[in-house]
Amino acid sequence: MTKLIDLCDIQYGYAFDSNCFSKDNSYPQLARIRDVKRGYSETFYTGKYPKEYVLSAGDLLIGMDGEFNVARWKIDGALLNQRVCKVVAKNGTNEEYIRFFLLKQLKTIEEKTSFVTVKHLSAREINKIEVDIPKLCEQEKIATTLLMLERIEELRNRELLLLDELVRGRFVELFGDPVHNDKGWETDTVENLCKKIYGGGTPSKVHPEYYEEGDIPWVSSKDMKTDVLTDSQIKINQLGVDNSTAKIVPVNSVIVVIRSGILKHTLPVAINAVPITVNQDLKVFIPGERMVSRFLAVQFKMHEKDILTGVRAVTADNIEFNLLKQRKLIVPPIELQKEYVTFVTQIDKSKLIVQKELDETQLLFDSLMQEYFG
C-alpha cells in the first residue's frame, strides 16, 4: 500500500474574501464545494487573487464538506476556493485510476464520518489514505475500462434528457408557455384542480414489525428518479400503514418532493403505476375531473424553474406548500390533455428501454469498482 500523498500532489483551496463574491460573469468563476460535482460555478470573484489558485479545465477536485465529491473541473481560469482541493498525479501514476479509486474510497470515508450538521473531510484524513497501486500498465487498463462504462452512462443519461426535451417541446407546441399562458387557456389553482392533496408519514423505526415482510412501497425522495413509480428501496406492511400517518396512495396519483436537498437543482415529480405510500417529505395530488394526472405532473415540471426560485432552507431545502397549492395552472380541454398524455406515454416506453440499459451499465460499473478497489 502507498500513501495518496506519495502518489499525488494535493493543493488545498484559498480562503477568498466573501465580500468579493459576485454574480457578474465577467470575473473568474469560484470553485466552491457545491460546484465540484457539476464542474462549473455561478459564483464569480471580483477581488485580487494568488495566481497559484487558478484552475484549468480537466483538473481533478475533491469537495471536503457534505458529500465528498470527486470530479473533473470543466472551465479554464476558475479559482480554487477553501474546502476544495486539487489532486495532481505524479509521474508513474495514472490520474484517472486515482479518480476512480477516490470515488470509492471517499464514499466509504463519508459513510463512516460522524456529523452534527455537515460532514467534514480533513486534510489529515486525506493524508492517511492509502492506495493499492498496481503497475502503470494495469492502472491504465483499469481506468480505460471504467472510463468506457462511465461514457456509456453519460450517453444514456443524455438520451433520457433528450426524451424529456421532446416531452417539453410537444407541450409548448400544443399549449404554449404554461407559466405565462401565452395561448390564453382557462386557468385555476392546483388546490381547485385536485380533489385530494395530502402528505405522507413514516412508521416508527422503533417497531421493526411495521417493516417485516413489507410488500407496500414506501417512497422517499431517494426513489423519485423516474417519471413512473413502480417500486421503492424500503417497503412497509399493512400494520405499518395502520399505525402511522402513511396512507395508501391510489394508482395514477401525482407525487411531488417538497422537502429535500435535491430541490437545490431539480423538482422530482412522478405518477405511481402501483399503490404506494410516501414519507413526509412528499405530497400527493389527486386531480379532479378537469385535469388528467399525467398532464398535472408535466405542468409541475414545466413550472419547475419558477417553483424552485421559492425554495427556502430551514432544516432542509423545502417548497412552501401553501404557495404550491395556490399556483395557477392552465386547463385546456380534457380531450386535448388526453391526446398529449398519449404522446407522453409513448415516450415513456422509449425511456424505459434506455433506463434499463443505464441500470445494467451502472450495475456492471459498480461490480467492477468493487472488484478493483474493494
pLDDT at residue number 114: 80
Q: 44 lies in which domain range?
A: 2-133
Q: Which residues contact 292 (CB under 8 A, 6 or more apart)?
A: 334, 337, 338, 341
Instruction: Confirm whether 169 is domain-assigned.
Output: no
What amino acid occupies position 222?
K
* 227 vs 293: CA distance, rounded Å: 12
Q: In this structure, what DSSP letter does residue 35 have?
A: G
CATH number of the domain residue 68 falls in: 3.90.220.20
pLDDT at residue number 105: 95
* 336 vs 34: CA distance, rounded Å: 42
Tell me the mean pLDDT in the region 297-312. 92
Residues 125, 252, single domain; the answer is: no
Split into its structural domains, the chain has a count of 2
Q: In this structure, what DSSP letter does residue 56 have?
A: -
Q: Where does the pLDDT of residue 313 fall: very low under 50, low under 70, confident under 90, or very high at 90 and above?
A: low
Lowest average pLDDT, out of 85-99, 194-208, 216-230, 301-315, goes to 301-315
pLDDT at residue number 219: 97
Residue in this structure with the C-alpha cell 502518489, named with its chain if needed: 7
Instruction: Confirm whether 164 is domain-assigned.
Output: no
Instruction: Confirm whether 360 is domain-assigned.
Output: no
Residue in this structure with the C-alpha cell 480505460, named with its chain if needed: 144
Residues 190, 53, single domain; the answer is: no
In this predicted structure, the answer to whether residue 314 has a pLDDT above a threshold of 60 is no
Which residue in 301, 302, 330 sits closest to 182, CA to CA?
330
pLDDT in tens, 238-256: 999 999 999 999 999 999 9
CA angle 183-265-201, nearest 5°? 95
Residues 206, 274, single domain; the answer is: yes
Residues 199, 114, single domain; the answer is: no
Residues 31, 116, single domain; the answer is: yes
pLDDT at residue number 115: 76
What amino acid occupies position 145?
T
Instruction: Confirm whether 150 is domain-assigned.
Output: no
pLDDT in tens, 148-179: 999 999 999 999 999 999 999 999 999 999 99
Q: Where does the pLDDT of residue 317 fall: very low under 50, low under 70, confident under 90, or very high at 90 and above?
A: confident
Percent of the chain with pLDDT over 70: 99
Instruction: Confirm whether 355 is domain-assigned.
Output: no
* 21 vs 372: CA distance, rounded Å: 41
Instruction: Confirm whether 17 is domain-assigned.
Output: yes
In this predicted structure, the answer to whether residue 49 has a pLDDT above a threshold of 90 is yes
Instruction: Confirm whether 354 is domain-assigned.
Output: no
* 269 vs 254: CA distance, rounded Å: 7
Tell me the mean pLDDT in the region 83-109. 96
Residues 319, 209, single domain; the answer is: yes
* 305 vs 319: CA distance, rounded Å: 12
In this predicted structure, the answer to whether residue 81 has a pLDDT above a threshold of 80 is yes
Instruction: Confirm whether 156 is domain-assigned.
Output: no
Tell me the mean pLDDT in the region 226-231. 94
pLDDT in tens, 108-122: 999 888 876 788 999
Q: Which residues contact 368 (CB under 8 A, 6 or more apart)?
A: 145, 146, 149
In this predicted structure, the answer to whether residue 227 has a pLDDT above a threshold of 60 is yes
Please tell me whether the overall predicted TM-score, pTM, comes out greater than 0.75 for this model: yes
Q: Where does the pLDDT of residue 137 fall: very low under 50, low under 70, confident under 90, or very high at 90 and above?
A: very high
Residues 128, 190, single domain; the answer is: no
Residues 83, 208, single domain; the answer is: no
Q: Where does the pLDDT of residue 63 fall: very low under 50, low under 70, confident under 90, or very high at 90 and above?
A: very high
Q: Where does the pLDDT of residue 315 fall: very low under 50, low under 70, confident under 90, or very high at 90 and above?
A: low
